[in-house]
Amino acid sequence: MQDAVAKQLAQVYDNCARCDEKGYHVGVQGKSMQDYLRFTMLKFYVYLSSSNGNISMAEIAYLNDALGYTMSADQIDRFNVSSKITKYSLKDSMITMMMPFLKMDLETSPIGPTSLAFIEFVNQAGLEFMTIDNGVADRFVMRDLGALVLALRNFRMEYITNWENMIREQKRREEMAKRPFFPGQGGNSPWGNPVPPVNIPNGSVPFNNNQPQNNAPQNQNGAPINPFQQQNQQQNQQAEQKQEEKELTLEEQLQKLEDLTGLQAVKQDLNSLINLIRVRKMREDRGMPQGAMTLHMAFLGNPGTGKTTVARILAGIYKSLGVLSKGQLVEVDRSGLVSGYVGQTAIKTKEVIDSAMGGVLFIDEAYALTSNTGKGDFGQEAVNTLLKAMEDSRDDLIVIVAGYSDLMMEFLDSNPGLRSRFNKIITFEDYMPDELLDIFKSICTKSGMKVTEEAEKAVLEFFIERCGQNLKTFANARDIRNFYERAITNQANRLAAIDSPTNGQLETLTIDDVTGIELN
C-alpha cells in the first residue's frame, strides 16, 4: 500500500476509534468500528478482484498487508462464494459503514469532513488495488468503482440535506410557538386547534362586571354539569389522551425504520419518498399547485427480507405525515381475496379493501392472483376490483404488492393498469451473514438471552455457509428465528441435566446450543 493511501487508512481507523468512543455502532455487537471497516474493505477488495477474474497472489498479499489478515487464496474463494457480493450489497455495506461517520460529522458546525475522508479513501484504495498486477485498471471495474463512489457521495449529500431540512422545520415550529396569539380572529392557532371567531351582536356587552358570574361547568346547552358526570368526562378524556400518546411520532417511526438491520438501499429510497411527501404537504398547505402522485408500491425480494415489517412502519409514517387517516396495515394473500364461486370474489375483495381504508393493504405473493388464468379462476376479478378501488380511494388507501422479484415483474406486466399504478418498485436484497448474526443477537437481547463469543462465531460461520449454498428454501430472517428456536430447545435439553442451574446459565446460549442445528 502506497504511503498516501496508508495515511488515509490510518486516518479512517482513527475516525473509527472516535466513533466507538461516542457510542456510535455498526455491524456485529461487541466488535469495534475498526473490525467492521476491515470486514467491509475485505468485501470491497474481493468484489473488485472477482469482477476482473480470479484474485491474484499480488492482490492477496495486498489485502492481507492492508487489513492485517492472513487469508489464503482458497479461503478468499470460499468467502467470495459464501458472501455472494454484488455491487448492490457492496453499496449497502459501504453506506452502513459510513453512517457513524455521517452522524459524527453532523455534531459539528460547519459539518465535519469525516464521511468525505472515508469516501476518498475508498476511491483511492480501489484505484490502487485495481492496478497491482499490470498497472492498468479494467474499464468495467473502473465503472463500478466510479458508480460506488458516486452513490456514497449522493447518499451523504441527501442525508445532510434531510438533516438540514429537519433542523429548519424544527426552528420554524419553535418560532411559530413564540408568536403572540390573539383569539377572536378566526382561523387556526399556531398549534393547529380551531379558534371560532368572536361574534358579538350590536349593542350588547360581552361581559358585565355588575352581574354575578356562574363559574360552574356547563354542557353544550348551557345547563350545569353534574359533578359526577364531569368526573366521568374527565376520565374519558384522560383515557383518550393516553391512547393518543401511545401513537409514535414521525421521528420515532423514522427511527424504527433506521434501526432495522441492513436494508440501506431500501431506507434510502423510502427516505427520498418521505421527503417528497413532506414537500408536497408544504406546497398543499400554502395553496400551491402540484401534479397527481401515486404512493402504491411493489416490494420485490425473497422471504424474510423485511418487506412486511417495512410496510407496517411505512403505514405509521404515512399516518404521521397526514397521508393516511388511520395508518393500520392489513395483510392478505390470494386466499384472502379470491373466492371459488362466481360473483363472490369481488365482494370478498371489497370487504378487505374496506377494512384497509385509511391505511395500507399489503398483498403478499401478489403474483398468485394472475398466475392461473384458466377457466374457473377468479384472480383477475380480484385484480380488477383492486384497480378500481385504488383509483377511487387514492386519497386514503395505499396498496403494496410483494413477492419474489422475477414473479412480481411478470405480475406487473400482466396488466397495463398494474404497471402504471405500481410505478414505485423497492428491491429488498438478501441479508449478508453478518447482518443475519445481528438479527440473531437482537432476538436474543429482546428475549433476555446472552450469547457467548464462541457461540457468536459458530452462528456466523453457519450462516456464511448457508448463504453460500443458494438454497431455494433460504428464508433470511425467518431462518434466523427458526435457528433461535432450535438453539433455545438445545439449551433446555442441556440444562435439564442440571439440578439447579444459575441465572447466568438460564440466560446464556453456548456453542453447544448452536452447534449441529439443521434447517430445512
What mean pLDDT is predicted for residues 361-365? 93
pLDDT at 36 over 60: yes
Instruction: Report which of 336, 327, 394 is spatially closest to residue 365, judged by C-alpha positions.
Output: 336
State the DSSP string of 143-167.
HHHHHHHHHHHHHHHHHHHHHHHHH
Mean pLDDT of the chain: 79
Give first-to-last CA distance, the chain, whole Å. Answer: 45
pLDDT score at 455: 93
pLDDT score at 513: 93
C-alpha to C-alpha distance for 264 and 96, rounded to whole angstroms: 7
- Angle at CA of residue 29, ends 452 and 487, nearest 5°: 40
pLDDT score at 246: 57
**C-beta separation of 395 from 323 below 8 A:** no
Specify which residues 362 forms β-bridges with. 331, 400
Measured CA distances, 199 to 91, 195, 477 (Å): 63, 12, 62
Q: Is 218 helix (H, G, I), strand (E, B) or coil?
A: strand
**C-beta separation of 427 from 301 below 8 A:** yes
- Angle at CA of residue 208, ends 203 and 213, nearest 5°: 135
Q: By 3-state DSSP, what share of the chain in percent is helix, strand and coil, each rounded to 5? A: 60, 5, 35
Q: Is 33 helix (H, G, I), strand (E, B) or coil?
A: helix
- CA count, 13 A, side-chain hemisphere, 377: 12
Instruction: Report which of 312, 383, 397 is spatially closest to residue 346, judged by C-alpha positions.
Output: 383
pLDDT at 28 over 80: no
Lowest model confidence (mean pLDDT) among 44-48, 214-218, 451-455: 214-218
Specify which residues 299 forms β-bridges with. 402, 426
What mean pLDDT is predicted for residues 469-480? 76
For the chain, which domains are there? 3-169 (no CATH), 253-428 (3.40.50.300), 433-514 (1.10.8.60)
Instruction: Please tell me the pTM assigned to this model.
Output: 0.53
Residue 61, classified by CB atoms within 10 Å of its CB into exposed (0-12), middle (13-18) or buried (19+), is exposed
Instruction: Report which of 94, 245, 65 is spatially closest to residue 156, judged by C-alpha positions.
Output: 94
- Using H for helix, E for strand and C for coil, what is the string for 419-482? HHHCCEEEEECCCCHHHHHHHHHHHHHHCCCEECHHHHHHHHHHHHHHHHCCCCCCCCHHHHHH
pLDDT digits (tens, 9 = 90+) for 196-240: 444 434 444 443 444 444 444 444 444 444 444 444 454 444 444
At 418, give phi and psi (nearest 5°). Answer: -70, -45
Instruction: Give the amino acid at 237.
Output: Q
Pairing of strands 329-332, 297-301: unpaired
